[in-house]
């Protein structure tokens, strides 16, 4: 299940984004944005946990540190129908530091172990952990090895390793995704030291070639920003990495039309505005002629009062003729 996955990304991987991604890949595991235990226990749990049935396999990522609260929320996630519960031990922002969850939990491996055990005890679906390779300037492999070993004692068998340190002070979340160096070799060492655990790597992965290289050493690869900004990359994954050649790849035009239908359905069912959905598919024509003007139409705030099919017709005026020349639907060369 963890061979390929799309990373949980705050502000991006909501249910509309996941529905879009599922049109491109049937088998890739999709993750929610992080949902805090406090939001589920004290807020509108039904709203936070809602997802489209088409999204399976889909995992719920929780943010929290209190074992009892994690257990309650994991059970809610299983009851709602999620395929996995994931604990966030990788987010480096100061907001989550104040909330005692995210990457700072890597310094409290026993607490994470206890939280994992509390969840494992109340659900039948996998409980997994997403984490960094270290925090701040602690760059010793022993640190992440001991963290994984301790947490595994609680019943976690799957670790999603963002192969950068998290600097809890001095860097923004964006800088934390770019400045600490990537050290994939530490994820590889974890697999060697814990051969019975499932280890997937995350961070800086942008091509199928990189994915294939990681899969030579590990059980899985998790792709983040590249999947969001260049989603067409996912269209070949079912065949390349899952051996599923039976399901034909949808053309970009068919994907876009399917999203129009989804926009209409979401508005009818929940009153969702089309532009909050369209923002997630702006990378669909990445690299093709007319893509910039096509994006401009879909992101033009002046068009918000129009129904999505009218906006789609306007966007189509900027594509099609030259795109049709690209028979393979591959990006046009810029040489």
Q: Which residues are catalytic?
A: 91
For the beta carbon of residue 89, count every other beta carbon within 10 angstroms.
30
Q: Is 265 helix (H, G, I), strand (E, B) or coil?
A: helix
Tokens read off for 63: 């943010």
Distance CA 117, CA 268 (A): 41
Q: Are 215 and 243 in contact (CB under 8 A)?
A: no
Distance CA 302, CA 123 (A): 47
Q: What share of the chain is helix, strand, coil (3-state, %, to 5)?
A: 50, 15, 35
Distance CA 271, CA 136 (A): 44
Distance CA 143, CA 125 (A): 28
Nearest residue to 304 (alpha-carbon basis) of 268, 276, 271: 276
Distance CA 195, CA 201 (A): 15
For the beta carbon of residue 267, count every other beta carbon within 10 angstroms.
15
Per the DSSP assignment, residues forming a β-bridge with 131 are 89, 161
């Amino acid at each position: 299940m963890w061979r390929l996955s799309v990373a949980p990304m705050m502000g991006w991987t909501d249910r509309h984004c996941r529905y879009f991604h599922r049109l491109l890949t049937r088998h890739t595991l999709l993750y929610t944005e992080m949902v805090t235990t406090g939001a589920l226990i004290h807020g509108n749990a039904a709203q936070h946990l809602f997802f489209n049935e088409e999204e399976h396999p889909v995992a719920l990522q929780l943010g929290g540190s209190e074992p009892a609260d994690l257990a309650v929320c994991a059970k809610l996630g299983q009851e709602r129908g999620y395929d996995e519960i994931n604990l966030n031990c990788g987010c480096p922002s100061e907001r989550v530091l104040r909330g005692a969850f995210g990457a700072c939990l890597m310094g409290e491996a026993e607490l994470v172990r206890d939280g994992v055990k509390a969840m494992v005890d109340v659900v039948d679906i996998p409980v997994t952990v997403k984490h960094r390779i270290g925090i701040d300037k602690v760059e010793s492999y022993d640190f992440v090895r001991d963290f994984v070993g301790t947490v595994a004692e609680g019943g976690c068998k799957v670790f999603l390793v963002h192969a950068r340190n998290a600097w809890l002070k001095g860097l923004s979340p964006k800088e934390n995704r770019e400045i600490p160096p990537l050290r994939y070799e530490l994820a590889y060492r974890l697999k060697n030291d814990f051969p019975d655990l499932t280890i997937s790597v995350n961070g800086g992965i942008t091509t199928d070639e990189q994915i294939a290289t990681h899969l030579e050493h590990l059980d899985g690869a998790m792709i983040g920003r590249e999947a969001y900004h260049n989603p067409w990359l996912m269209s070949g994954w079912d065949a390349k990495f899952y051996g599923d050649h039976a399901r034909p790849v949808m053309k970009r035009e068919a994907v876009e039309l399917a999203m129009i239908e989804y926009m209409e359905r979401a508005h009818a069912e929940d009153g969702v505005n089309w532009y909050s959905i369209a923002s997630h598919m702006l990378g669909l024509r990445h690299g093709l002629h007319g893509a910039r003007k096509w994006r401009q139409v879909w992101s033009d705030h002046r068009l918000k009062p129009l129904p999505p099919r009218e906006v789609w017709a306007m966007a189509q005026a900027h594509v099609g003729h030259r795109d049709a020349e690209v028979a393979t639907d591959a990006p046009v060369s810029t040489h």
